[in-house]
Structure 1
Amino acid sequence: MTERLRSIPLDAIQADPKLQNRNVGMQKYKEHSDAKRYKDHINQLTRSIRAQGQQVPMKVVAAEEGCTYELAPDADRPHHVPTRFWLVDGHHRLEALKRAGAAEALVEVLPGLGFADALDASRLANQQIIQALTPLERVENAWSAFNQERDTYRKMPIKEAAALLGVSENTIKRFRDAVRQEGINAGKIDRDVSRDKAEQQLQAYWQRKATWRRLSIISWGMFKKQRQDGGKRTSAAALRHVVKMAVVQVLFGVEGRYDHKAVVAALEELGREAGRPDGAAYLEAKYKPKIHQPETTDDDESVGEDVDHHQMGLEIARMHAEGPSRAPGDF
């Protein structure tokens, strides 16, 4: 066997749902079970392995967990010796091997180290296999690839990304156009800039943790539906959900920004305050942010003051309603 092709113990292989490309959109909502859809396929694999042994190697990437470091002869530093591997292609073969009672698996060890490299490698798997991905699965797989922390695919030329992920160039363009439009709506991307500047703004917006992490937990189908329904009337329950999502995203969006226990305690207190008969008015008066504006004093020194322009507007309106308070010509 070559260095990249070897037999390893089954218990040295670890899997993760994020590394399973098939039905990646469904997995996010736990609406689908591979065991149900591919029951016959796995049974066939099991029978084949029992009769002929494993014919097609699985693909793995070395994991950082549980490794050892050994000093080779004449080496100046220890080298990494993996004892655990991330499975990036062959989830059904793994299940079939377990059912067949196998102790070892034939694997191809791909270049890379750790989960991030395994995630990249998994996007390229399942392109030419016995049971290929459906067109919808390929699109969802590509969408998931674009919305991971590592920006490998976001920065890749459209033609190259489409070829690697097995989708059309138009699909990649639709991903980019949809996220760009969202950034424009959010005020993070300028609609009227040069092509180079527009690309820079798109990459900066997509690289924000609040963007890619949010998009990584919904399927492309759901994201399209949300955009299509954007102009439609929304139910009161849906509006409440949007408000709750916005609050939670702000409070938990930046990791380490607020202590989670303090956030929960504050939300509970807000709930009690919102439950007052004058809840909305009370919350607005107590928590509405004030706009900082400099105030010029008699000696022309600029002094910082928090001015509540909402209250100022009400006061000016009241003064106009009452009419002039002094005779014409008075100063």
Structure 2
Amino acid sequence: MQKFKEHSDAKRYKHHVNDLARDIRTNGQLTPLTVVAAEEGGSYHLASGADQAHFVPTCYWLVDGHHRLEALKKIGSDAVQVEVVPGKGFADALDAARLANQQVVQSLSPLERTENAWTALNLERDTYRRMSVKTAAATFSVSETTIKRFRDAVRQEGIQSRKIEPKAPRDKVEQQLQAYWNRKSTWGRFSIMPWHVLKRARREPNNPISAGAEKHRIKMEIAQLLFGEEGRHDLKLVVAALIDMGREAERPDGAAYLESKYKPKIYQPVTTDDDAAESDHVDYHQLGLEVARMRAEEVESREPGDF
């Protein structure tokens, strides 16, 4: 499904750029690209009569109009209309890009808007974190419920890490949330974690693992144990052994049979080629049970008068 989605997105992107190229070739570029000045390569100049120097950029960040730029390249245009918006540097470019969605011809999907809002709330600067729920929802074109879920998720994380009081007074709730969220260890961790991943991780403790998932995990553990150490076992023999165990497991008493046949026995020395005994891990519990059983059998087998 991921490969299909990537192919579908690439196909949609190609068609969109082709449509823009035809429109620009016919009607010209009607909408300028939006750029923000980059700090790299620029310099400060003091104009005549000015009391302070102004920054003259030589490079710009493209924040809106990536498809239009590709269309202009496609038709071989050597000039482009741009609009320079206030700001300087990568952080301001990110802010401008997030606020330019209303002019995007190919609008974001609801999931993309949600992920966009979550990423913005976990930037180093706390501009969006300090916004009210209503303002943040309007800024990123998401529902107020979505913003409340973001805030609740962060608050629950803070409660679990004992950085936020679960029963804090109302006037301190927002203060503690902002203090915890502004920690680099908090927003830094969430900035690399998509919202859908965090949401799924929060649901897992309440949802039991399915039987299919549990079986898959068991098979992974078996495979990692047998194939993990390179050279420990011959791979063909490992596969043959797994096939034999599969046949044995199909017996009516498969589980009991496998347990009785392959359950670890009491310690016995392993004889090497030079007849030297190698030490191995000893199951003292099993050894004690075995000794107790042997003594019980000896007592039962005694005849009256035996010593």
Kept in 2, the 8 Å contact 1:140–1:219? The answer is yes
CA-based RMSD of the aligned residues comes to 2.4
What amino acid maps onto 1:155 in structure 2?
R
Pair 1:119-2:61 in alignment: no
Task: Give 1:143's match in structure 2, choosing from 103, 113, 118.
Answer: 118
Q: Deviations over 1:134-178 (max 9, x none)?
A: 222211111111111111111111111111111111111111011
**Structure 1-normalised TM-score?**
0.59
Instruction: Tell me which of the two structures has the higher relative contact order, counting C-alpha pairs closer than 8 angstroms and 6 or more residues apart.
Output: 1
Structure 2 unmatched runs, 5+: 222-279, 282-307
Aligned residue pairs total 211
Map of 2:61 onto structure 1: 86
Aligned-partner Cα distance in 1 for 2:80–2:103: 20
Structure 1 unmatched runs, 5+: 1-25, 239-276, 279-331
Pair 1:198-2:173 in alignment: yes
Aligned-partner Cα distance in 1 for 2:123–2:85: 20
Aligned-partner Cα distance in 2 for 1:81–1:150: 25
Q: Deviations over 1:212-260 (max 9, x none)?
A: 121111221111111111344585889xxxxxxxxxxxxxxxxxxxxxx
Cα shift at 1:131: 2.1
Kept in 2, the 8 Å contact 1:58–1:108? The answer is yes
Kept in 2, the 8 Å contact 1:61–1:112? The answer is yes
Cα shift at 1:66: 1.1
Pair 1:157-2:132 in alignment: yes
Map of 1:218 onto structure 2: 193
Aligned-partner Cα distance in 2 for 1:35–1:113: 32
Map of 2:275 onto structure 1: none
Aligned-partner Cα distance in 2 for 1:166–1:211: 24
Pair 1:228-2:203 in alignment: yes
Relative distance call for 1:196 and 1:156 in structure 2 (3 A) is: same
Aligned-partner Cα distance in 2 for 1:124–1:69: 28
Pair 1:45-2:20 in alignment: yes
Aligned-partner Cα distance in 1 for 2:43–2:79: 20
Aligned-partner Cα distance in 2 for 1:93–1:103: 13
Kept in 2, the 8 Å contact 1:59–1:107? The answer is yes
Task: Give 2:107's match in structure 1, choosing from 132, 139, 142.
Answer: 132
Kept in 2, the 8 Å contact 1:61–1:113? The answer is yes
Percentage of identical aligned residues = 60
Q: Deviations over 1:247-304 (max 9, x none)?
A: xxxxxxxxxxxxxxxxxxxxxxxxxxxxxx99xxxxxxxxxxxxxxxxxxxxxxxxxx
Relative distance call for 1:195 and 1:128 in structure 2 (3 A) is: farther
Aligned-partner Cα distance in 2 for 1:138–1:128: 14
Map of 2:161 onto structure 1: 186
What amino acid maps onto 1:127 in structure 2?
Q
Map of 1:54 onto structure 2: 29
What amino acid maps onto 2:107 in structure 1?
A
Q: Larger deviation: 35-44 or 60-69?
A: 35-44
What amino acid maps onto 1:79 in structure 2?
H
Relative distance call for 1:37 and 1:210 in structure 2 (3 A) is: farther
Relative distance call for 1:99 and 1:114 in structure 2 (3 A) is: same
SS in 2 for 1:38: helix
Relative distance call for 1:219 and 1:37 in structure 2 (3 A) is: farther
**Structure 2-normalised TM-score?**
0.63
Aligned-partner Cα distance in 2 for 1:122–1:154: 17
Aligned-partner Cα distance in 2 for 1:151–1:38: 33
Relative distance call for 1:212 and 1:106 in structure 2 (3 A) is: same
Map of 2:152 onto structure 1: 177
Q: Which protein is richer in strand relative to its size?
A: 1
What amino acid maps onto 2:134 in structure 1?
K
What amino acid maps onto 2:192 in structure 1?
I
Kept in 2, the 8 Å contact 1:127–1:133? The answer is no
Map of 1:266 onto structure 2: none
Relative distance call for 1:190 and 1:63 in structure 2 (3 A) is: same
Aligned-partner Cα distance in 2 for 1:167–1:156: 14
Kept in 2, the 8 Å contact 1:127–1:166? The answer is no
Map of 1:63 onto structure 2: 38
Map of 1:102 onto structure 2: 77
SS in 2 for 1:141: helix
Aligned-partner Cα distance in 2 for 1:174–1:92: 33
